Every structure is written in C-alpha cells, then in structure tokens.
Amino acid sequence: MRFQLLGPLSIAEGHDVVVLKPSKPSSLLAALLIHPGSVVSTGYLLRALWDEDQPATARAALQSCVLRLRRIFAKYGVTRNVIEAVPGGYRMNADADTLDLVRFRALVRAADAADDAEGELYRLKEALTLWQGPLLANVPSPMLHRDEVPGLTEERLRTLERACDIELALGRCRQVLVDLWEAARRHPGRERFSEQLIEALYRTGRQSEALSEYRSVKGRLKEELGVDPGPSLQRLELSILRGDDLGPPALDPALDRTPPLPGGRTAVALAPRAEPLAIAAPARIPAPAPAPAPVPSAALAPAVRPVPPVPSFTGRTAERAAITARLTAGSPDTTVVVLSGAPGIGKTALAQQAAHDSQHSFPGGVFILAMTREDGSPVTPAEALAHLPPPGTADGATLLVLDDVTSPDQVRPLLPAGPGSAALVTSRRGLAGLMATHGGSVHRLSTLDPAESRQLLAAVLGPERVAAEPAAAGELARVCGHFPLSLRIAAARLLTRPGLRVEDCVAWLAEDLPARLSLADDPRLSVPQVFGGALRRLEPRWREAFHRLGDHEGLLLSSHALGDSPEAEEALERLADAGLLEEGPPGPYRIHQLLKIYARRQARERHNSQAATARH
C-alpha cells in the first residue's frame, strides 16, 4: 500500500488506484503527507482544514477527522497505525516505498551523487515520472494550495530544468524539444525553459524558429511586465545572430538512448507532463529538419520506464486479457495486434495498459511511438526507424507500440524481428491490408457499457461521490456517450470543482454537446477537437458526406443513406474506415449519438457561414 501525493491525492495497491474524494479527511491526509515523519502541529492542521475561519469546536472536530481518516485507511486495507498522536500534534511516517514524495526526493538526491551525466539523468527522469497531474486537485484546502503547492511545484520544475540541461549538454537537442515546448508554454514566467528551448532549436538547425521564439518571449515580457529578457537570453540571441557554435552537434537519434532498464530492457523516455488525468503518451517524432515545422501547441511525452499503468483504468476486461495473452504467447513469428475504433474511444489508453501488463515478457525493450504529428501529418517509416534500436541489437524480444497509425505502409517496415517480438498498433482504421500481408488480430473497440462507465467515474471521482448521486452519475455517462475521453473530461471538471453536484454538471453539459466536453487548460482534452482532427484527415468530399449525416433520422443508416450512386456508397465506406461509422454492409451502418450531434452542429455552422457570406 502506498500514498500518491504528486497529483490527485490517492491510495494505491499494486495497479489499483483509489482517488480520494474531496473532504476534510483528504485535507488532513495531505497536510500530514507533505511533512512525512515530522510532527505536524495542531495549529497547522487546523489551518489546513479551516484556514482562518476555524469553528469554536475546531480541536474536537480535528480529532473526529483523524478518526474518520483512520476508518478510510481500514476500508482500503491500511491496517498499521500510520497516524501517531504526539505532544503538540500528529505525525505520519512514510518512506520511499509508501509515499511518492519521499521517493521523488530520494531519487533527486541519488542524481546528485551519480558519477556521470547518464546516471544523473536516468534518476532525474525516473523522479519526474512520479508526477501524475495537478497537485492536490481533489484536496479542498485553500491553505495547502496557497502555502504548500507552489513549493512542491518548484521542486519539480527545478528537476525538469536540470534534466533538460543535461540533455542539452549531451547533445540531445532534438530529443529534448518535446519537453521544452511543453515547459515553455506551461510556465512562461520561467525564462530558463525559454532559453533552453531557443538553444535546442538553434542547435538543430532551426535558426529562424529560434529567433522567432526569442521575439515572442521578448514581446510577452514587455507587454505583461514591462521588462526586457534577462542577460542570459540576450546573450543567447546575440550568439544566434552571429552564428556562434553553442555546443556539440546533436547526436544520431538512433544512438541517443536512455540507459538500459534492469534486466536489459530499454524504453524511450522523457519527463512526463503534469496534467489532469494524463497518461504517458507515445513519443512524438518531430518534423524533419531543416524544413521549418509549425510550433506544436503542446508536447507529448514518450512512454516512461517502466511502462506505467494508465491512471484509473477500468473496463475492457475481456479485450485487455485477450491482447495481453496474444502479445505474450511467445510466437516464433512477430505477433501483430491492431486496436481500431472511433476517435476518443480509448485505443491509446488500452494499448498502454496492455504494454504495461506484458512488459516483463519483452527483455529487449518496449518502444512507444506516435505515428502522427500534432498537425495531423503521418510520420514516415524512415523517421520512426531513427528512434528505434538498429535491427539485431535488441537483447531479446521487443514490443513496439505504434499509436495512431494511418496506413499499413507505416507499419510494415517497422515490425520487430525475432522470436517472441510483437507489435501493438492503434488506428482509427482496421488496417485490413496489414492483416492480409502479416496476419494478426484486430480488436474493434466500442463504447463502454453503463457498468464500465460507472466504474471509470468512481475510479476518478471516488466511489462515495458517485454513490451519493447514482442516478446523476448514470445520466452523466449517458450524456458523455460512454466514450472514455468524454467521461474523463467530465470527471476532471467535477474533480477540480469539489462543490459542483454531478446533477448540475450533467445539465450544463447537455445544453451544448459536444462543445462543452472540453477542458480550457488543454485543447487536446476536447471532444470537438478530437472529432475535428479525425475529419481533417479526410478529403473534403468525405467531410461533406459526414456533415450530411447529421440531418439523417435515427442512428442506423442504410447503405443508401447518402443516395444510390457509387460515390455515396464509397463515402459511407470511407467514413466507416475512418472510425466515424460502425459496421456496414451487409448490415446497416451506425453513427454514434455524439458524432451525429457534432455532424449536425458542423453542418449548421457552415450553412450560417455561407448565408452570411451571401448576404455580404
């Protein structure tokens, strides 16, 4: 049993994680865990629970809160007396095995003592993987958020800065770019991240982008604070303008590997993002230099070592077991497993969970790559190969996870060789061409059933909050269409608003679906954004066909729903292949309710735009 403080406050046992509901006991637990092994004074705990608005019976209520917390521990199997009453307050002992904050600090100290840069970087990255999202998102204590969270956040940012400094010193400028895009955008007030990003851009041959980034930083500082960039940034700009050599050239990506894992395993690894309900995302391959690439809106972090479980993963029991059994069967030939389905249906989450479940069967390593860039363009096999070990160098069977594949041709040249090796591929398409040439199995994911949706909400929000409003929780799952992405977005909104009732959230969402199924602080966690990205990959005529389906009555579509012409039939097949429709001939097609609402909305907006243009 272990406590997780570096994200939503939770209790974990093995792969099972329980996110505690917002409550006074949660605030008390967080206040004790922030000071592990130390006596936490009664006055401090009273402020953590009630801030400056303490009731007259606060001390008695604190004792009651301690008893409630001990009952929660017993409920989740924490049998030891971990909360000690001592003179002046309370103490909660924890070590690196029972609290992620202690482990994080131990790893950072171990990095200080490392003999070489590789060892230091290895430990820093391992420490950063412990951060699972916004700190104490489910802890309703204004004092802790005001007085403690900034200091803990500073510890993480210093560690990330240090890891990026080492990457730059080792010449791994291309590899560190994804982290630096993310850090510079999320923390614009920290000039060091901007400086590191500009240096990495320049050293990878992207001088114009580096100067553009400098001008953007300079403009923001002048507009918001009325100051100029610091001396380090100014010196860096001058060096770029002069064309100075800032350090060693970037290493060959094929040789730029993180140290091996215990047992010889390796994995592509960079520091994770801190965001609500995030999972470790596939490694995002940058656009090839020297051609300028659009600045990504946010960076995606590669898989970490070891491959972590997906936070609050629930459901998909049969598919998960079948995929893991297939991957670990030890076939003499390369095993290929394809996960397909609609956008937002949970393919990436299931793939990572299956990779986590089966990673010990692959001593040669688990490698996870995104096969589509932020702008929707596909990654070429040659670009992907540069991020994988050369053929014949892996120490045993390997697992290759290719996320968001757009065609069979992306996959075939990358398939790992060797007995027991496997490839797990996610795609909105069925990739029938890949099955025809290499065989394998295809798992077409559908929406969660009502029980699985409820389990997901309970895992994220806490079973008590779902049990308090069971009917509203069921209605929330229905409004979200039982899509994992929609459910996680709605749960994140509720998790960060402890006082919001589930019933009120349902009513608010239903007023404007699916537009309100999005999070303001991360555009990638947005149902309209995900649906729109899937449509943008299609030709305009197929997009037009999808919009027309919004006016069709019902969710079942005959093969003549768009007319009797061969092109109308092809349009339905194209939309089904893109994951926007289900099934098809000889039976009817089916469109999901959320996708239909989105199609109708898009058609209406386009019609209004055309009408406005005609009036003018």
- Angle (CA) 93-98-99 rounded to 5° is 80
pLDDT at 527 over 60: yes
**Contact 198/240 with Cβ under 8 angstroms?**
yes
- pLDDT band for 402, please (50, 70, 90 cuts): very high
Backbone phi and psi for residue 63, each to the nearest 5 degrees, phi listed first = -60, -40
**List of E strands, 63-212:** 83-86, 89-92
> Which residues 6+ apart lie within 8 Å of 452 measured at CB?
314, 315, 316, 482
Q: What is the pLDDT of residue 244?
A: 76
Any alpha helices (H) in 281-345, and if so which ranges? 317-327
Q: 312 near 456, Cβ under 8 Å?
A: yes
pLDDT(352) > 50 = yes
CA dihedral 452, 458, 463, 468 (to 10 degrees): -90
The pLDDT value recorded for residue 81 is 57
The residue whose two tokens read 């899937």 is 534
Give the tens place of pLDDT for each residue, 67-121. 998 888 888 777 665 788 888 899 998 889 899 999 999 999 999 888 888 889 9
Note the pLDDT tens digit of each residue in 585-598: 677 888 888 888 88
**Backbone phi, then psi, for 185, in 5-degree steps?**
-75, -35
pLDDT of residue 283: 56
pLDDT band at 339; cut points 50, 70, 90: very high
Task: State the pLDDT at residue 102.
Answer: 94
Candidate ranges 232-236, 244-248, 253-257; pick with highest mean pLDDT: 232-236
Q: Give me the mean pLDDT over the 246-250 stretch.
A: 53
Q: Determine the Cα angle at 131 with ends 128 and 137, to 5°.
A: 160
Give yes or no for a contact between 591 and 580, defined as CB atoms under 8 angstroms apart: yes
Asked if pLDDT for residue 260 goes beyond 60, the answer is: no
Mean pLDDT computed over every residue of the chain? 81
Geometric angle at alpha carbon 210, from 208 and 211, rounded to 5°: 65
Non-local (6+) Cβ contacts of 205 within 8 A are 289, 290
**Which of the pair, 30 or 459, is modelled with greater confidence?**
30
Eight-state DSSP code of residue 395: S
- Give CA torsion, residues 354, 355, 360, 362, to 10 deg: 130
Residue 322: is its pLDDT beyond 90?
A: yes
pLDDT of 507 > 50? The answer is yes
